[in-house]
Structure 1
Amino acid sequence: MHSFFSTSFLPFREDRPLINAALIFVLTTLFYFLGAMLRLVEELSLFWPLNGVMAGVFARYAFLHRWHYYLMSYLAMLAYDAVTTRWGIASLIINFSNMVFIITMALLIARERRQMTKAPQPMNALKLFGYCFVAALLCAFFGAIGSVGLNDHGFWPLFADWFGEQFSTGVLIVPCILTMSRPRSPLKLHAQQLMPLVAVAVSVLASVFIGGAGSLAFALPALIWCAVRYPLPVTCLVTLLTGGVEIILVANQIIEITVGSPLAVSHMFSARLGIATMAICPVIVSVSVEAINRLMRQVSLRADFDFLTRVYSRSGLYEALTRGDKRFTGQHLTVMLLDIDYFKSINDNYGHECGDKVLMSFAQKVQQVLGEHGVVARMGGEEFAIVAATKNAAEGVALAETIRCAVEGHLFNWRQQTLHLTVSIGLSSGQAQAGPLTETFETLLVVADENLYRSKRMGRNCTTAGDEAQTVDGTAQPAGSIS
């Protein structure tokens, strides 16, 4: 259910309890008023959005799970009824039923949120459907008790009406509240991107012309298309609007689904259950698609980057070059091979944990010095490769020397000891040829590998670009010498 909880929309903050309480009071009053106004319009009288909205708010912000915040919402309901109705004791029970739905949903989702690392996200999305069912049952029980006497209906018809309304609006509204977020960038809709929405509209029109109980499911394929094409918040919003429109059309007999039933249930009760059942399907699909996409990004990240050092892996470097990094296209390239001098002695003397820390620190230092000039990749073991855009071969040698000196001057700390490292570098330079960058890279890599061998043969801690080597004063010390 992690996908349901967006963090980019934060009207509530844990460090502002008074403002939180005021916002809850205002929101409750606003949606109570909205629900009351919808009751006055026959076409919209089937909706009671308050419970779904407030359940989503309390479920989304865990720090709102406090008795005083719930009490503030309840008081707002009672205050509205005291001003606008003469229900008396019935108001206490009816609004208590509203709070039963809100608190039940908030607590069940909060419980699921704490345990969601142990279950697949699509299964958690399906559980949301079950939570709405349980909360609607409890709410309907108390709501029907409170409503008896306010009209001519008995307990069971009132129970069915309360349950159908709370269940359908909960399934439609709660996912929207949980996923609501600000757009990260301006929406740029093209004709092709609008096709799923067009399909939804066409399927609803088909329901009107064809009719029958099965027509309520006509929109399902189009909604699943939306789930595959659009982000989860958009899918939830489209599903809410589609379900709401269908309920209105059924209520006004524009979609005709009346049919005899052995249980003699009202057609609106059946329609609400059917639409709620349909509405959860695109949400589950959307969550599944998002989970799969996240997994694919993680797999791609692990394939392209070395897990230990956080620089490119060998395959990741080839992939980056295959995509044609703009920094390298048509540029003079310098390819370097770097090998940490006497790295084996670090593992032998200080252990592999120390060796891993050295590799991480070394890669970060090299990347820091290199900056935007190029990319770093771990080719295997203690050997790294660099691809950099340089003006000419001399600039490539100067960059390699800068890296070598930076490594030599950097102190690698391990527990109570300071390790001095040096690095041997072999490099090769040339103009990027027409065609894939990987071909130019492989050609230069062969020469760089030969020059790295020369650097090691000449005593290490030096840079070799050809037959001549750029060496430092003195000879290289074994890696990991302690100061």
Structure 2
Amino acid sequence: MRSAIASFTLFRPESPLRNAVGIFLLTTLFYFIGAELRLVEALSLFWPLNGVMAGVFSRYLYLNRLRYYTVSYVAMLMYDAVTTNWGMASLVINASNMVFIATVALLVLRDKRLMRAAQEPINALRLFNYCLVAALLCALLGATGSDGIDSLTFWPLFADWFSEQFSTGVLIVPCILTVKIPERFIRFRPEQLLPVLALIVSVAASVIIGGAGSLAFPLPALIWCAVRYSLPATCLLTFVTGAAEIILVANSVIDIAVDAPLSTPMMFSARLGIATMAICPVMVSVSVAAINSLIRQVSLRADYDFLTHVYSRSGLYEALKHEGAHRHSRFLTVMLLDIDYFKSINDNYGHECGDRVLASFAQKVQQVVGEDGLVARMGGEEFAVVVNSGDAQHGFTLAERIRLSIANHPFTWRQQTLYLTVSIGLGSGKSESWELTEVFNRLMAEADDYLYRSKKAGRNRTSARLSADLIVAEPERGA
């Protein structure tokens, strides 16, 4: 049920009718929300429609078709025709809404085509500028269309349009671009909710203390959220905080007027201040996400061998530490594998061939071992396999399967067939979880000793001590 919800999407590239209906419904819904937030004047206090639709068109490349923009515009006109008496002014006012939506969407999509944001869902600073440009264009047309439907003249209307469009765009567009339904239920420990608690307290302090500076009170808490939470969560919390502050300021719950009546310049300043504040935690969150991604890449390169795509020596030790933290006692078998006469392959066919042989060998060993153990390249042509074998005999049997699989699957290089063999030494013993690394080191030394015996006995052999006897599995004659 949860996975079905997580995979749900309102839009699909192969369903034009579904997309058109979705756009019409979203436009109508957020037009209604914005209309309900209107002040005494005809203009809205907080107009989420343009930010939401700009985010939707930016997020889904296949929606950027003239027909879908037209559906959104028609939905706006229909809502106005039913609820207002603006007449022809509605054509211009809603055209200004479409100017904001299309400008932001086309600029974001231009970035995507140029691969400027290949590693991140948004570029916060560039998005800030796009909302600024779109708000200016929208305000020019919107203020012209609004002149005459209320008592304000052009410049106050322009200031109101611009500040509202810019602030809501900066708050909403990042949220729409990053929002996603969690694939699994996330449990929070009490201490993980401290940034949200600090955010609530800071907004409460803004209400209690008041003054223009109080609008910046939530900023430290929002930056704390950006460091502790994911980018989508940070964008959502920033949106909720900014929207709440705008509504609280407009209703004089947060008093920035200092005993003077709230005026258009004050609302203009408050909105711009909130928009400027809102971009900071988003930028921090994007930076933190980029740093974490870089750390994961560096860790991945350290833990895995680049050539063979199996664990590196250090990666094997990290995997064993992880295993030790999640399992109880087990019987461990450690194998050391060495490709026979590998130097002659490099000498006769070149290092490129040698690299291909190493990669193919590692893939074949991993295929035989499967999910039952860990495979690592220890250096050069030497590999290690660690398995929870149950007993020494099972470990020996798996080692023989590896040896025979390598011998029976020749490697092809530039129309030449190379027959590979491998010498294997084993070490087996019981280990408790708390001493896994120490036991591994001891078994590695034992496996190294038996690997030497396999090589000395003629190679292409598996050597191990089962109970009190030395066992050496030799190749069949003619193999």
TM-score in terms of structure 1 length? 0.91
Report the CA distance between 1:120 and its aligned residue: 8.1
Equivalent-residue separation in structure 2 for 1:68 and 1:463 (angstroms): 70
**Pick from 456, 469, 478: which aligns with 2:472?**
469
Amino acid across the alignment from 1:473: E
- 1:135 and 2:126 matched: no
Match of 2:352 in 1: 353
Amino acid across the alignment from 1:393: A
Q: In structure 2, the residue corresponding to 1:107 is in which secondary structure?
A: helix
Match of 1:316 in 2: 315
| 1:9/1:124 CA distance change after superposition, 3 Å | farther
Report the CA distance between 1:355 and its aligned residue: 2.4
Equivalent-residue separation in structure 2 for 1:58 and 1:390 (angstroms): 55
Equivalent-residue separation in structure 2 for 1:432 and 1:120 (angstroms): 43
Match of 1:145 in 2: 144
Q: In structure 1, the residue corresponding to 2:177 is in which secondary structure?
A: helix
Match of 1:429 in 2: 428
| Alignment gaps of 5+ in structure 2 | 1-5
In the TM superposition, structure 1's runs of 4+ consecutive aligned residues that sit over 6 Å from their partners are none
Report the CA distance between 1:70 and its aligned residue: 1.2
| 1:123/1:25 CA distance change after superposition, 3 Å | closer
Match of 1:207 in 2: 206
Q: In structure 2, the residue corresponding to 1:39 is in which secondary structure?
A: coil
Report the CA distance between 1:405 and its aligned residue: 1.0
Match of 1:480 in 2: none
1:277-310 CA-to-partner distances (Å, cap 9, x unmatched) read 0011111111111111111111111111111211
| 1:223/1:326 CA distance change after superposition, 3 Å | closer
Which has the higher mean CA deviation after the structures are superposed, 159-168 or 224-233?
Answer: 224-233
Amino acid across the alignment from 1:145: T
Report the CA distance between 1:80 and its aligned residue: 2.0
Q: In structure 1, the residue corresponding to 2:152 is in which secondary structure?
A: coil
* Residues matched between the structures, number: 467
| 1:417/1:82 CA distance change after superposition, 3 Å | farther
Equivalent-residue separation in structure 2 for 1:119 and 1:390 (angstroms): 44
1:378-399 CA-to-partner distances (Å, cap 9, x unmatched) read 0011110011112222222111
Confirm or deny: 8 A CA contact 2:325 2:433 kept in the other structure: no
Report the CA distance between 1:150 and its aligned residue: 1.2
| 1:129/1:260 CA distance change after superposition, 3 Å | farther
Q: In structure 1, the residue corresponding to 2:114 is in which secondary structure?
A: helix
Which has the higher mean CA deviation after the structures are superposed, 27-36 or 410-419?
Answer: 410-419
| 1:322/1:69 CA distance change after superposition, 3 Å | same
- 1:338 and 2:337 matched: yes
Which has the higher mean CA deviation after the structures are superposed, 390-399 or 222-231?
Answer: 390-399
- 1:195 and 2:171 matched: no
Q: In structure 2, the residue corresponding to 1:361 is in which secondary structure?
A: helix
TM-score in terms of structure 2 length? 0.91
Confirm or deny: 8 A CA contact 1:459 1:475 kept in the other structure: no
Q: In structure 1, the residue corresponding to 2:390 is in which secondary structure?
A: coil
Amino acid across the alignment from 2:274: I
Equivalent-residue separation in structure 2 for 1:397 and 1:48 (angstroms): 71
Amino acid across the alignment from 1:170: G
Report the CA distance between 1:351 and its aligned residue: 3.2
Q: In structure 2, the residue corresponding to 1:395 is in which secondary structure?
A: helix
Report the CA distance between 1:171 and its aligned residue: 0.7
| Alignment gaps of 5+ in structure 1 | 1-6, 477-483
Match of 2:415 in 1: 416
Amino acid across the alignment from 1:471: E
Confirm or deny: 8 A CA contact 2:304 2:311 kept in the other structure: yes
Report the CA distance between 1:124 and its aligned residue: 2.2
Equivalent-residue separation in structure 2 for 1:475 and 1:438 (angstroms): 41
Equivalent-residue separation in structure 1 for 2:13 and 2:354 (angstroms): 43
| 1:349/1:64 CA distance change after superposition, 3 Å | farther
Equivalent-residue separation in structure 2 for 1:327 and 1:358 (angstroms): 35
Equivalent-residue separation in structure 1 for 2:44 and 2:194 (angstroms): 31
Which has the higher mean CA deviation after the structures are superposed, 383-392 or 270-279?
Answer: 383-392
Report the CA distance between 1:366 and its aligned residue: 1.0
Q: In structure 2, the residue corresponding to 1:367 is in which secondary structure?
A: helix
Amino acid across the alignment from 1:474: R
RMSD: 2.5
Equivalent-residue separation in structure 2 for 1:220 and 1:376 (angstroms): 48
Equivalent-residue separation in structure 2 for 1:330 and 1:134 (angstroms): 64
Confirm or deny: 8 A CA contact 1:335 1:385 kept in the other structure: yes
